[in-house]
Structure 1
Amino acid sequence: MAKARDIQLDTLRAVAVTLVLYAHFLAPGGSSFLGHLGVRLFFVLSGFLITRLLLEARDAAQFEAGPALQSFYARRVIRIFPPYFAVLGLVWFTDLEQARSSLAWHALYLSNFWYAQRNDWTPWLLCHFWSLSIEEQFYLAWPLIVLLAPRKRIEAITIGIICFSLAYRFYWPIAADPALARDLLPPASMDALGCGALLAARRARGADVPRWMRLGWPALAAVFLLVVWSDPGPADSTWEWPRWLLVQVLPLVPLTAIVAACSNGLGGRLGKLAELPPLLSLGRISYGVYLYHPILLAYAVKAQPWIPLNVSEQGPGRFLVAGTATLVVASLSWVLFERPLNGLKRYFPYMALSRGRGASETRRFGGGAPALDLRPTDRS
């Protein structure tokens, strides 16, 4: 059965996708640090949930690396591929915004490399696929490390990946090159994914976030907001690169601390707020919301002559029309398409069926009856 405390992580998904919708539909100028923050929150969540799932599978009595890897990839394919390739099929069939020529890159989950090597956000309606590509690249490589590396070395490997990602950022001020590659290549996101993974690794040995992180994250969050709201100054100013570095790095501790708190289960009024049904429902369909929202925006813009509100520019009209369409389509996709397909995961348990203790652990990790659902921990 899914861990009851993870219900609050669905609310974090809802918060993350709302920040992205705000940035893409409502924020002045078509960009906002809130959208960036939403994506970074998704990365921390994914790093935590996937690593915890893999470590729990590895620590079970009936663990075998080969079957566990096969099941992990099969379950990822079932969850991620159908709506993703349905969107690509629709874009190919309609050649929406002349995006057909780049579809091979997106189909191979190389969207981040496509936009990085072109240094341009064309086609714009698939530009959000860069983060989905990062996650898929993470899903491809990370299970091999978690399930095959020496168990006692995983936490150290995770720390090394975070340090490498942070060091990567310092190359760009030296190169003085503000190309899209600095934000889109995999090392630029490994710090957030790694922070989530490190939290899971610490939890696996009975630890939690360090005390300095629990007490200090509000101060770091406040500094982050001050930096974001500061005047960026003219291009090539002395503040431009330090500001970029701080905006990238400062949110890591607050986001990790928030994920840690919600995965433990917040109590009191905050806990009740984090378990409001509308937020949980939005978190449940957050993958579809993120996947579909620019596609539906493109159709809304094409339909502008028949829409009384202004959807061609950032603002309340776009947020209301495109946002509502996104929620409706994502909800239908979840109920009619994604959730039924998720039932196929029961055919790919992390351990083979066996008797006694092994059988109970198999049920814990996805085998047996369909009622044993890992969706709250396995929905990214």
Structure 2
Amino acid sequence: MANTRDIQLDALRAIAVTMVMYSHFFAAGGSSFWGHIGVRLFFVLSGFLITRVLLEARAAAEFQTGPALRSFYIRRALRIFPPYFAVLGFVWLFDLEQSRGSLIWQALYLSNFWYALHNDWTPWVLCHFWSLSIEEQFYLAWPLIVLLVPRRRFEPVCIAVILLSLAYRFYWPITATPALARDLLPPASMDALASGALLACWRSRGAALPQWMRLGWPALAAAFLMIEWFVPAPADPTLEWARWLLLQVLPLVPLMVIVTACSSGLGGILGKLAELPPLLGLGRISYGVYLYHPILLSLAVKSQPWIPLNVSEQGPGRLLVASAATIVVASISWLIFERPLNRLKRHFPYVARAQAARAGHAGWFAGAPGRLPDGRRTPSLDLQRTDARR
């Protein structure tokens, strides 16, 4: 059974994927505002959870780099690949929205480069794969950093990645007309992923958020909303770049604060709301919802003659029909496809349980971390549970 912090992180996943569906199914003119925030929240969550579980593995008494890396990649493959390639197989079989020409890029998790090189969202039915490609590129490199960089240098590495990602954005005024590449190349998202990793680093050493973050996040959130809602995109490229830069950077700290609060466990009314069963259920299947929602939208639009509601345009009809279809398909996928495969991850622990048992670390089996004579922690079963839910 998951602990409170992981339950409430499921609620954040549900909120993030709801933002994406709202943006793609309902928002007037296909506004990307809510979808953008939802994806950025997913990135902060991913950076936090992946880094936390790897740092906990590294702190275990029986930790070995090679087996931990092998387990990480196998567990990620079991969770991510089956539904992902099932979608690609379906799209290839029916050539949905003439997508076959890009499938090799999608299969190699280079979707973000495909759309950046073409500077166009064609095929639109797979355009959401850009963010999944970013995450997979992150998964390939980041575990090596977490497990191999000296612990005292890991926090500076996280900060350096965030600063380099922010600096990357200053390249675009030189290139004149903005292109999709400024949003889709990996450096554009590394600040959010590394911000989540920085949270995990602070959590691992028992540090709280800096005071300026705790006190300043409402002002940053308010500034972001004011610019998004009340400052129209200017025609001047330099001013447009400045507005875009602020909209990318301002939400980072508020998102970090939200993830920190839910990972610690919100109390009171907010805590009860964050643990509502429908919200948790949606969070549990959020990966499938994100994967399938444009596919179901495409099929719904093709089925418009048999659907009494208007699904051909953004609006309530599309939101109701496409969201319901997506949630049904994602639920079925989770129950009969994803969850059984996910259970196989128990065969690939980050730290060998047999070794821990022979060493007599009773805390391992109780699911509670303890301390060895040399000060190193014994691993908690929560280390496995946390990753199993992703």
Pairwise TM-score range, normalised by the shorter structure: over 0.9
Contact 1:173 1:241 in 2 (8 A): yes
SS of the counterpart of 2:161? Answer: helix
Partner of 1:337: 337
Partner of 2:169: 169
What does 1:172-191 align with in structure 2 at a 5 Å threshold?
172-191=172-191
Contact 1:50 1:378 in 2 (8 A): no
Contact 2:199 2:260 in 1 (8 A): yes
Distance 1:197 1:24 in 2: 28
Distance 2:363 2:130 in 1: 39
2:359 to 356, 359, 362: 356
Distance 1:377 1:261 in 2: 19
Letter in 1 for 2:17: V
1:279 shift after superposition: 0.5
Letter in 2 for 1:319: L
Letter in 1 for 2:210: P
Residues 219-238 of structure 1: per-residue CA shift (max 9 Å, x gap): 11001000101232442255
Partner of 1:95: 95
Partner of 1:65: 65
1:150 shift after superposition: 1.2
Partner of 1:129: 129
TM-score, normalised on structure 2? 0.93
Letter in 2 for 1:106: Q
Partner of 1:229: 229
Task: Pick closer, same or farther for the CA change 1:128–1:280 going to 2, 3 Å.
Answer: same
SS of the counterpart of 1:122? Answer: coil
SS of the counterpart of 1:189? Answer: helix
Whether 1:254 aligns to 2:254 is yes
Deviates more, 1:168-177 or 1:219-228: 168-177
Task: Pick closer, same or farther for the CA change 1:363–1:234 going to 2, 3 Å.
Answer: same
1:123 shift after superposition: 0.3
SS of the counterpart of 2:177? Answer: coil
1:175 shift after superposition: 2.1
Distance 1:74 1:110 in 2: 20
Task: Pick closer, same or farther for the CA change 1:116–1:364 going to 2, 3 Å.
Answer: farther
Whether 1:44 aligns to 2:47 is no
Distance 2:94 2:363 in 1: 49
Contact 1:13 1:283 in 2 (8 A): yes
Alignment gaps of 5+ in structure 2: 369-380
SS of the counterpart of 1:259? Answer: helix
Residues 12-51 of structure 1: per-residue CA shift (max 9 Å, x gap): 0010000000000000001231110000000000000000
Residues 116-166 of structure 1: per-residue CA shift (max 9 Å, x gap): 011010000000000000000000000000011112111111110000000
Task: Pick closer, same or farther for the CA change 1:373–1:157 going to 2, 3 Å.
Answer: closer
1:373 shift after superposition: 8.8
Task: Pick closer, same or farther for the CA change 1:300–1:171 going to 2, 3 Å.
Answer: same
Partner of 2:324: 324
Whether 1:214 aligns to 2:214 is yes
Partner of 1:199: 199
Task: Pick closer, same or farther for the CA change 1:164–1:133 going to 2, 3 Å.
Answer: same
Letter in 1 for 2:14: A
Distance 1:233 1:347 in 2: 52
Partner of 2:4: 4
1:358 shift after superposition: 5.2
Question: RMSD in angstroms over aligned alpha carbons?
Answer: 1.7
Residues 330-375 of structure 1: per-residue CA shift (max 9 Å, x gap): 011111111111110011011222213457548859xxxxx97945
Q: Structure 1 runs of 4+ off > 4 angstroms?
A: 357-360, 362-365, 371-378
Distance 2:237 2:140 in 1: 39
Contact 2:220 2:254 in 1 (8 A): yes
Whether 1:74 aligns to 2:82 is no
Contact 2:68 2:351 in 1 (8 A): yes
Partner of 2:375: none
Distance 1:246 1:56 in 2: 34
Equivalenced residues, count: 375
SS of the counterpart of 2:58? Answer: helix
Task: Pick closer, same or farther for the CA change 1:364–1:93 going to 2, 3 Å.
Answer: farther
Distance 1:362 1:144 in 2: 28
Partner of 2:239: 239
Percent sequence identity is 74
Task: Pick closer, same or farther for the CA change 1:320–1:211 going to 2, 3 Å.
Answer: same
Whether 1:271 aligns to 2:274 is no
1:240 shift after superposition: 1.2
TM-score, normalised on structure 1? 0.95
Task: Pick closer, same or farther for the CA change 1:253–1:333 going to 2, 3 Å.
Answer: same
1:209 shift after superposition: 1.1
Contact 2:53 2:383 in 1 (8 A): no
Distance 2:367 2:156 in 1: 27
Contact 1:120 1:180 in 2 (8 A): yes
What does 1:133-172 align with in structure 2 at a 5 Å threshold?
133-172=133-172
Partner of 2:371: none
Distance 1:199 1:66 in 2: 25
